[in-house]
Structure 1
Amino acid sequence: MSTSDRRLAPYAETVAASRGRLVPEPISRTRTAFARDRDRIIHCTAFRRLKEKTQVFVAHEGDHYRTRLTHSLEVAQIARSLAHALRLDTDLAETVALAHDLGHPPFGHAGEDELQACMAGFGGFDHNVQTFRVVTKLEERYPAFKGLNLSWETVEGVIKHNGPIAHRLEEPAWAPIRDYHRQWDVEPGGFASLEAQAAAIADDIAYNNHDVDDGVQAGLLSLAELETVPLIGPQLLATRRDWPDLDDRMVRLEAVRRMIGVMVEDVLAETEARLAADGIETVKDVRAAGRTVVAFSPAMLVDLAVLRKHLFERMYRHYRVNRTRSQARRILAEMFELFMAEPEVMPPEWSGKALGGDEVRKARAVCDYIAGMTDRYAIEEHKRLFSLDLALDL
Structure 2
Amino acid sequence: MAKQGSRKSAINRVGGSGEGGKTVSRPSPEELDWGRLLSSARKPAPDRKKSIYEKIKDHRTDHERDFDRVVFCTPVRRLKDKTQVFPLDMHDGVRTRLTHSMEVSNLARSMGTAVAAELSSMKGILDAQRNVPALLAAIALTHDLGNPPFGHQGEVAIRGWVERNESEIKKEAKSKFNRDLLKDFLLFEGNAQGFRILARLQHQDHQSGLRLTASTLRAFMKYPWTSDAVMGEGGPKKFGVFRSEKEVFDWASRETGLLGRARHPLSYLMEVCDDIAYSVLDIEDAVKKELVSAAELASFIGSDARFKDDSRVKNLLQQYEDDRDYLNTLRMPIEGKEEAPLSSKEIRDSQIDIIRSYAIGLMVSDAIGRFMELESNNGFGSLKKGIAEDFGSKALVDAFKSFAALRVYRHPSVLKAELQGHCVIPELMSAFWRSVIAHDHGTQSKVDEYVMSLMSPNYIRVYRKSIDLDLPVWYRQVQLVCDQVCGMTDSFAIRVHADLKSLGAL
Q: 2:216 aligns with which of 154, 176, 182?
A: 154
CA shift for structure 1 position 333: 1.3
C-alpha RMSD of the superposition: 3.3
* Matched position secondary structure for 2:387: coil
Counterpart in the other structure of 1:7 = none
Q: Quote the offset at 1:15 in angstroms.
A: 9.2
Q: Structure 2: how far apart are the matches of 1:367 and 1:197?
A: 28
Deviation at 1:354, TM superposition (A): 7.2
Aligned to 1:209: 280
1:38-77 alignment runs, 5 A limit: 38-77=67-106
Alignment check: 8 A CA contact 1:21 1:150 kept: yes
Q: Verify the 8 A CA contact 1:353 1:362 in the aligned structure 2.
A: no
Mean Cα displacement is larger for which, 302-311 or 230-239?
230-239
| Cross-structure match for 1:85 | 114
What does residue 23 of structure 2 align with? none
Structure-2 change in CA distance of 1:83 and 1:141 (3 Å): closer
For residues 384 and 245 of structure 2, what CA distance do their matches in structure 1 show?
21
CA contact (8 A) 1:92 1:196 kept: no
Greater Cα shift, 62-71 or 353-362 = 353-362
Give the SS at the match of 1:31. coil
Unaligned runs of 5+ in 2: 3-30, 117-128, 167-181, 231-238, 302-312, 331-341, 437-447
- The letter of the residue matching 1:369 is Q
What is residue 43 of structure 2 aligned with on the other side? 22
Q: Which moved more, 1:261-270 or 1:102-111?
A: 261-270
Give distance in 2, aligned partners of 1:236 and 1:176. 50
- Work out whether residues 218 and 249 of structure 2, in 8 Å CA contact, stay in contact via their aligned partners in 1: no
**Structure 1: runs of 5 or more not aligned:** 4-9
CA shift for structure 1 position 335: 0.9
Match of 1:257 among 357, 364, 378: 357
Q: Which amino acid aligns with 2:496?
A: E
**Conserved in 2, the CA contact under 8 Å of 1:33 and 1:151?**
yes
Work out whether residues 51 and 69 of structure 1, in 8 Å CA contact, stay in contact via their aligned partners in 2: yes
CA contact (8 A) 2:104 2:274 kept: yes
Q: In structure 2, what is the equivalent of residue 180 of structure 1? A: 248
Aligned residue type for 2:500: L
- Identify the residue that residue 373 of structure 2 maps to in structure 1: 273
1:366 equivalent in alignment to 2:458 = no
Residue of structure 2 in register with 1:138 after alignment: 201
* Pair member with larger Rg: 2
**For residue 309 of structure 1, what is the aligned residue in structure 2?**
402
CA distance in 1, matches of 2:426, 2:502: 16
Aligned twin of 2:293: 222
CA distance in 1, matches of 2:190, 2:385: 24
> Cα distance 1:16–1:58, how it changes in 2: closer, same or farther (>3 A)?
closer
Q: Is the 8 A contact 1:21 1:152 kept in 2?
A: yes
**How many angstroms apart in 1 are the aligned matches of 2:110 and 2:80?**
23
Q: Secondary structure at the match of 1:119?
A: helix
CA contact (8 A) 2:226 2:243 kept: no
Question: Contact (CA 8 Å) 1:270, 1:295: kept in 2 or not?
Answer: yes
> How far apart, in 1, do the equivalents of 2:201 and 2:142 lie?
14
CA distance in 1: counterparts of 2:275 and 2:395, whole angstroms = 14
Q: Does 1:332 find its partner at 2:332?
A: no
Provide Cα deviations, 1:113-148, integer angstroms capped at 9, x if missing partner. 1112223444312111000100111112414x3210
Residues of 1 paired with 2:352 and 2:108: CA distance? 23
In structure 2, distance between residues paired with 1:66 and 1:72: 10
Q: 1:332 to 1:235 in 2, by over 3 A?
A: farther
- 1:319 aligns with 412
> Among 216, 228, 237, which residue is 2:321 paired with?
237
State the 1:177 CA deviation: 4.2
**How far apart, in 2, do the equivalents of 1:234 and 1:147 lie?**
50
Q: Which moved more, 1:113-122 or 1:379-388?
A: 113-122
Aligned residue number for residue 291 of structure 1: 383
Contact persistence 1:354–1:362 (CA under 8 A): yes
Deviation of the 1:272 alpha carbon = 3.4
The 3 A distance-change label for structure 1 pair 268 and 183 is: closer
Q: Take 1:258 and 1:99, find their aligned partners in 2: how far apart are those partners? A: 26
**Change in CA separation of 1:235 and 1:113 when aligned onto 2, cut-off 3 Å:** farther
Change (3 A) 1:353 1:202: closer
Runs of 4+ in 1 over 6 A off after TM superposition: 351-357
Count of paired positions: 370
Q: 1:6: which partner in 2?
A: none
Of 380, 388, 391 in structure 1, the residue corresponding to residue 495 of structure 2 is: 380
Query: Is the 8 Å Cα contact of residues 336 and 366 (structure 1) preserved in structure 2?
Result: yes
Over 3 Å counting, the alpha-carbon distance change for 1:134 and 1:238 in structure 2 is farther
Code of the residue aligned with 1:109 in structure 2: it is: H
Which amino acid in 2 is paired with 1:373? Answer: M
**C-alpha displacement of 1:243:** 3.5
Alignment deviations for residues 333-359 of structure 1 (CA, whole Å, 9 cap, x no partner):
111122222343132525677799844
Q: Is the 8 A contact 1:75 1:206 kept in 2?
A: yes
The answer to whether the 8 A contact 2:429-2:481 is kept is: yes
